[in-house]
Structure 1
Amino acid sequence: MATKIKSFRDLEVWRLGKEIALEVYQSSKSFPKEEMYGLVSQMRRAAVSIPSNIAEGFIRIHNKEYRQFLYMALGSCAELETQVELSCDLGFLPSRGKGNLLEKLDHESRMLKSLIKKINVST
């Protein structure tokens, strides 16, 4: 029997998004100081945007609004993927960190797309 989802905290997609945000904060601590207001800031905002949009969309009354917030989270995943690639190319992020983050972002994106499809079917 499926568990009833009572809060956005019950969603695996939200939990993974939060995990990604924490990992981005941790891995960007070692970036050069001159990137604090550049790439580091952009990466952290995109990372935080993923679980934040999932949470905000979840509390919306209409599925159309929820779907829009999920699309914003999906866009933040793509934005963060690009920033992770750049960080590695610039030598700020080791290849291992890049691979781990990109794998999680791919999984997050697939879960978001699946959730969007489910919402589309129910409307």
Structure 2
Amino acid sequence: MAKIESFRDLEVYRKAHQHAQTIFERSQRFPTEEKYALTDQIRRSSRAVTALLAEAWARREYRADFINKVNQSLGEAMETQSWLDHARSCGYLDEEEYTELDDA
């Protein structure tokens, strides 16, 4: 196992970063009228997952802070799933795209 020297070495960070990128790419097709509602929200929450994981890494020597940041990251991940539900319900994602993103 390689030594973890940075938050970028964490598998969870790498997967979350890729997930946020995929959401960004898919959300570029969302209608203009969703720009400030769904599009911005799903992009913000998916990106917040990685930002909070980076913060957790920085605070890893302070157990309570570390746990708090990881929990906040989980909350943002759940928020992202909620926005994915809305995107599917509105027909902006087909079932295959939704499943790919929801399972990530």
In structure 2, the partner of 1:12 is 11
In structure 2, the partner of 1:76 is 76
SS in 2 for 1:83: helix
Over 6 Å off, 4+ runs: none
In structure 2, the partner of 1:85 is 85
Structure 1 residue 40, shift from structure 2 partner:
0.3
Is 1:34 equivalent to 2:29 in the alignment?
Answer: no
Structure 1 residue 57, shift from structure 2 partner:
1.0
SS in 2 for 1:74: helix
Distance in 2 (CA, whole Å) between partners of 1:55 and 1:101 is: 22
Kindly provide the CA deviation profile for residues 79-107 of structure 1, in whole angstroms up to 9, marking residues without a partner as x: 11111011001111111110001110xxx
Distance in 2 (CA, whole Å) between partners of 1:38 and 1:48 is: 16
Distance in 2 (CA, whole Å) between partners of 1:77 and 1:22 is: 14
Structure 1 residue 3, shift from structure 2 partner:
2.3
Q: Which runs of 5+ in 1 are unaligned?
A: 105-123
For this pair of structures, how many residues does the alignment match? Answer: 103
Amino acid at match of 2:44: R
Distance in 1 (CA, whole Å) between partners of 2:77 and 2:8 is: 19
In structure 2, the partner of 1:110 is none
SS in 2 for 1:3: coil
SS in 2 for 1:36: helix
Q: TM-score, normalised by structure 2?
A: 0.95
Is 1:65 equivalent to 2:72 in the alignment?
Answer: no
Kindly provide the CA deviation profile for residues 30-67 of structure 1, in whole angstroms up to 9, marking residues without a partner as x: 00000011100000000000011001110113121111
RMSD between superposed Cα atoms in Å: 0.8
Q: TM-score, normalised by structure 1?
A: 0.81
